[in-house]
DNA sequence: TTCTCTGCAAATGCTTTGCAGAGGC
DNA sequence: GCCTCTGCAAAGCATTTGCAGAGAA
């Protein structure tokens, strides 16, 4: 499972995983992916999903999202973007806005920033409605 | 281990854990804490550290830092602040600057933002020097 | 035919839990 | 003495790994 796996086989399981991820905005976990694919392939194992996610990640086709302290989420949108996280229902929503954040040079002491991720925590619309 | 544990006992193990965390800027993991405390209490168990961290977290004395996808880190600095993360050595550095980031209201669709965390990823000074 | 991929089972690593005895207060 | 805390062992999850057989190319 190296970084430049060239001859990727188009197995039906892999195709189903990729189809599920395609355009998926829900930041699914491996379990979410499994639950979808298992409908079509009742014998698929979690290990297969894990192995495929690993390949897709190494190929740069999905991004690992480290927001949930308990399990990893995956995002097929690999462009640079930020997240809104509902602290109630844990939903993760994309924020496709570019913010211009600059850390003063003298503060950095030669730390070279390459990317910036912003996580906005709060309460989403539907959770706010439920609260009342 | 409820949220408002009032009669916290000052056991030597707990005192050692709190002493280690006091002013600690290294965002230690439970293992880091254990490694320090076990020097003074060779019989202490990891479970004790986990249980104490859980109490301290619920009391708002430490913050869980979800940056490392593989293990949880803890930060005794519970003020609002941001982080610089070295993608090479995984070191986490505090950024005590307040940024004024506003997401356009119409973008939010009633999502109510309460806190904002910014993670700056890059290469730290010492890793940059080593590279050459 | 070749070589990757799948599915199973076992293993790993972090974290949690149950419980009996120890020890703060 | 009461009741929380500790330490141990076992359990619980998410994730990884090894391997033999299946199947894509």
Each residue's pLDDT tens digit, A104-120 = 999 999 999 999 999 99
Q: Are residues B9 and B49 in the same domain?
A: yes
CATH number at residue B38: 1.10.10.10
For tokens 């462009």, the residue is: A79
Q: Are residues B10 and B62 in the same domain?
A: yes
Q: Are residues B58 and B91 in the same domain?
A: no
How much is the pLDDT for B7?
Answer: 76
B12: CB within 7 A of chain C nucleic strand? yes
Q: Are residues B27 and B67 in the same domain?
A: yes
Nearest of B40, B26, B8 to residue B17 by alpha carbon: B40
Q: Is A7 exposed, middle or buried (0-12, 13-18, 19+ CB in 10 A)?
A: exposed
Q: Are residues A96 and A39 in the same domain?
A: no
**Domain closes at, from B56, B75, B94:** B75
A71 contacts on B by Cβ (under 8 Å): none
Q: Determine the nucleotide nearest to A12 by Cα–C1' distance.
A: D24
Q: Are residues A71 and A88 in the same domain?
A: no
Chain B residues at the A interface, defined by Cβ less than 8 Å, are: 64, 66-69, 72, 84, 86-87, 93, 95, 97, 99, 101, 103-104, 107-125, 128
Other Cβ atoms less than 10 A from the Cβ of A80: the count is: 11
- Low-confidence residues of chain B: pLDDT under 70: 1-6, 132
Q: Are residues A12 and A69 in the same domain?
A: yes
Q: Are residues A109 and A64 in the same domain?
A: no
Nearest of B101, B19, B30 to residue B65 by alpha carbon: B30
> How many domains, in total, are found in chain B?
2
Q: Are residues B19 and B60 in the same domain?
A: yes
CA separation, residue B82 to residues A92, B64, B91, B103 (Å): 20, 13, 13, 18
Cross-chain residue pair A66–B68, CB shorter than 8 Å: yes
Distance of residue B48 Cα from the nearest chain A Cα, in angstroms: 20
Q: Pairing between strand A63-65 and B73-75?
A: unpaired
**Which residue range forms the structural domain that includes residue A28?**
3-75
Angle between helices A46-58 and A12-21 (to 10 degrees): 60
CATH number at residue B90: 3.30.1490.190
**Domain closes at, from A50, A75, A100:** A75
The model's pTM is 0.91
Nearest of B84, B79, B80 to residue B67 by alpha carbon: B84
Q: Are residues A68 and A100 in the same domain?
A: no
How much is the pLDDT for A108?
Answer: 93
Q: Are residues B46 and B7 in the same domain?
A: yes
**Domain closes at, from A53, A75, A97:** A75
For tokens 């014998």, the residue is: A43
Q: Are residues B60 and B105 in the same domain?
A: no
Sign of the C-alpha dihedral, residues A13, A33, A70, A120? positive
Element holding B4 (H helix, E strand): none
pLDDT single digits (tens) A6-59: 579 999 999 999 999 999 999 999 999 999 999 999 999 999 999 999 999 999
B124 contacts on A by Cβ (under 8 Å): 110-111
pLDDT single digits (tens) A48-104: 999 999 999 999 999 999 999 999 999 999 999 999 999 989 999 999 999 999 999
Nearest CB among A97, A116, A124 relative to B120 is that of A116
Residue B122 makes CB contacts below 8 A (sequence gap 6+) with A111, A112, A113, A114, A115, B84, B85, B86, B87
């Amino acid at each position: 499972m190296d970084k430049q796996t060239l001859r990727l086989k188009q197995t039906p399981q892999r195709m189903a995983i990729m189809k599920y991820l395609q355009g998926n905005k829900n930041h699914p976990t491996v379990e979410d992916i499994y639950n979808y694919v298992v409908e079509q392939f009742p014998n698929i194992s979690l290990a297969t999903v894990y192995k495929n996610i690993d390949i897709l990640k190494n190929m740069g086709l999905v991004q690992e999202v480290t927001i949930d302290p308990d399990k990893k989420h995956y995002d097929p949108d690999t462009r640079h973007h930020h997240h809104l996280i509902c602290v109630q229902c844990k939903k993760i929503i994309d924020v496709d806005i570019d913010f211009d954040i600059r850390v003063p040079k003298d503060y950095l002491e030669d730390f070279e920033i390459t990317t910036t991720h912003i996580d906005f925590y709060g309460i989403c619309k539907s959770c706010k409605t439920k609260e009342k």
